[in-house]
Structure 1
Amino acid sequence: MNMRSYDEKGGIRMGLVSLLETVNVNTGERTVLAEFDYLIEAPNWTKDNNYLIYNSKGLIYKFDLATRESNPIETGYVNQNNNDHVLSPDNKRLAVSHHTKEDGQSRIYVLSLTGGQPVLVTPMAPSYLHGWSPDGAVLSYCAERKGEYNIYTIPEGGGMETQLTDTPGLDDGPEYSPDGRHIWFNSTRTGLMQIWRMNPDGSDQKQITFDESNNWFPHVSPDGNSIAYLAYRKGDVAPNDHPANKNVEIRLMGSDGGPSSTLVKLFGGQGTINVNSWSPDSRCLAFVSYQL
């Protein structure tokens, strides 16, 4: 979920520098790919290992890893996109969360990754996209309905949405594992924001992390072996908030849970790693850090 991923001035924050980076999960080596004097957020890594997809100023951009140049993807009237965007498993389509002109609330749309006419998937709002099932048939997202934020799924072409969680507290960040056996998510239901896992039908909801941090956005590596997530220090934020401009960590753990390790310490938070940004070989993560 992203309550506000861009501001009224088109995503420009005075004095902000965005660094598009990668980190090798085995060595910890960080590489700065590009520097922007405005807000960019949430890279997705394409399966062909050629591009990163990110959002900025309401638009979606394709960053060429070879030339290190960015070009916008044509998304038509869907031009107020936040940082909740996901690639289809075959990488032919792009699903985005766009704040509609009518009421300013986020709704999910699908279009070709090469650009084109967007198709509305979730008429109900707000809806914040986070996952796409491995078979390409279902989208998973966080949505507010009747004053409560829960996790839902919907056919990728639209239709009836299915509510998967109903426990008091914020549930967010639902993402499918590559084998389709689980949906990973984060929840405040036990106090702090922690990482959870459930079956795709919402059954067997199981807490995975139990530490003293507020943990957000679990991202499963393509090989299914590792989980990367964003951690805020306890006391820095309310458990149900994931603001920008905080000292945070990207942490790594095995897909069976267990102890986690700190991969990166950075200044960031909102926009850093909201969506899955694993490289196709599961060796690297892309992320955005910030400087003021």
Structure 2
Amino acid sequence: MIRTLQPGQRCQVWIASITGESTLVYSTDDMLLEAPNWTLDGSSLILNGDGKLWTLDVPGDSPAKPVEVPLSGIPDLNNDHVLAPDGTSIFLSANDGHIYRAALAGGPATRITEEDGTFHFLHGVSPDGKELAYVGIPAGDFTQPGRLMTIASDGGADARVDVASGHCDGPEYSPDGKWLYLNTESFSSIPGHAQLARIRVDGSGFEKLLESDTVDWFPHLSPDGRFASYIQFPSGTEGHPADLPVAVVLVSTADWTTPLHTWPLFGGQGTLNVNSWSPDSGRFAFVAYPISDSTKD
């Protein structure tokens, strides 16, 4: 299903700095954009919206506007997309449950995953570009927990990485390729209580990164490995729903327990689903979805 804005709601694309500043770079009430990536040359953000892929130039002398990437041979997109390390192509999850690869310049997309009765939700690509990490869910049955899976980036057999029985999401490779970072419910008996964790790519060393009362999703490491961003949902949240008070958090990877900066906002789904760090590790992007209070107009 393609997400749309509610009456009175806006989509705001923000860029935050590791020093704590944040800048609104684009705002619209026409289209709901989600899940920014940052291109390798540092010039643009890549987002999905209305089932399509868009580029949004990082502001310069004139206001930025989204430009559609002309893709073919792929169904409507969801918000799971990750740039390939070559900087010229992108891996995409579509609403048919499959993962595709396409050029950032546009053109035909190539399907990677097979018809195996599973929906494939992409989140990570290894630093050498040879492997993808995704969450596999039995097609049509979202009551079942997501499983951490890997597959060669050109397709073939997939493999499961055991992170116990709890639902997991957001698996993403560390910059050195040694770890997969994710959120998981395997450390809690409370429904929906996701916490941040990591596991070595060989399946060993599964560990929780911090313990909190909030529901924590989507850890994203900066390219230099020094920082991470993630999104906090309120205690008691199940899944990663849209349209509620959340917070985007910045931490040092040397100490996940102490936030360096926090950005409260109205959002959730679409705000920070995929890695949105700039190539220089100094900034990252996120999306907010504020709704006006008509009683105050």
Q: Decide: shared fold, TM above 0.5.
A: yes
Native 8 Å contact 1:13 1:39 kept in 2: no
- Give the drift of 1:257: 4.0
1:33 has 2:34 as partner:
no
Pairwise CA distance, 1:149: 1.3
Q: Match for residue 96 of structure 1?
A: 92
* 1:75 CA drift (Å): 1.6
CA distance in 2: counterparts of 1:119 and 1:214, whole angstroms: 35
1:104-119 to 2 correspondences below 5 Å: 106-119=97-110
TM-superposed deviation, 1:255: 2.0
Alignment of structure 1 residues 38-187 onto 2, 5 Å? 38-65=31-58, 66=60, 67=62, 68-100=64-96, 106-123=97-114, 124=116, 125-145=118-138, 147-187=144-184
What amino acid maps onto 1:286 in structure 2? A
How far apart are the structure 1 equivalents of 2:128 and 2:276? 19
Q: Cα–Cα, structure 1 residues 78 and 16, in superposed 2: closer, same or farther, change >3 Å?
A: farther
Long gaps (5+) in structure 2? 292-297
Percent identical across equivalent pairs? 35
Counterpart of 2:136 in structure 1: which amino acid? A
TM-score of the superposed pair, with normalisation by structure 2: 0.89
Q: Deviations over 1:169-219 (max 9, x none)?
A: 101100001111111000001222100011112221111111111000000
Say if 1:96 and 1:275 are closer, same or farther in 2 by CA, change over 3 A: same
Q: Is 1:260 matched with 2:258?
A: yes
Q: Which amino acid aligns with 2:165?
A: P
Partner amino acid, structure 2, of 1:119 = T
CA drift of 1:156 comes to 0.5
Cα distance change, pair 109–252 in 1 and its aligned pair in 2 (3 A)? same
Once the two structures are overlaid, the 10-residue window that deviates more, 252-261 or 89-98, is 252-261
Alpha-carbon distance in 2 for matches of 1:246, 1:12: 14
1:258 Cα deviation after fit: 3.8
* CA distance in structure 2 between the aligned counterparts of 1:132 and 1:141, rounded to whole angstroms: 9
Mapped contact 2:222–2:228 kept (Cα < 8 A): yes
User: TM-score, normalised on structure 1?
Assistant: 0.90
How far apart are the structure 1 equivalents of 2:66 and 2:75? 17
Taking the aligned partners of 2:176 and 2:234, their CA distance within structure 1 comes to: 31
Deviation of 1:260 (Å): 2.8
In the aligned structure 2, how far is the partner of 1:70 from the partner of 1:175?
A: 26
Whether 1:224 aligns to 2:225 is yes
Unpaired runs of 5+ in structure 1?
A: 101-105
Q: Is the 8 A contact 1:25 1:263 kept in 2?
A: no
Q: Distance in 2 between matches of 1:150 and 1:118?
A: 25
Could you say which residue in structure 1 is the equivalent of 2:294? none
State the alpha-carbon separation in 2 of the partners of residues 258 and 54 from structure 1.
Answer: 27
Which position in structure 2 is the counterpart of 1:103? none
Q: Does the CA contact (< 8 Å) of 1:138 and 1:153 recur in 2? A: yes
More displaced, 134-143 or 147-156? 147-156
Opposite residue 176 of structure 1, the aligned amino acid is: Y
Over aligned residues, Cα RMSD in angstroms?
1.5
Deviations 1:214-273 (CA, angstroms, capped at 9, x unpaired): 0000000011111110001213x12xx111111111112222444231421111110001
1:29-73 CA-partner distances (Å, limit 9, x unpaired):
111111111311010011111000000000000111234122111
CA distance in 2, matches of 1:158, 1:82: 20
- Equivalent residue for 2:278? 279
The 1-side partners of 2:264 and 2:163 are apart by: 33
Deviation at 1:143, TM superposition (A): 0.9
Name the CA distance, whole Å, in 1 between partners of 2:202 and 2:71: 32
**Equivalent pair of 2:163/2:186 in contact (CA under 8 Å):** no
Aligned residues: 276
Query: 2:187 touches 2:208 (CA, 8 Å); kept in 1?
Result: no
Q: Does structure 2 retain, via aligned residues, the 8 Å contact 1:273–1:287? A: yes
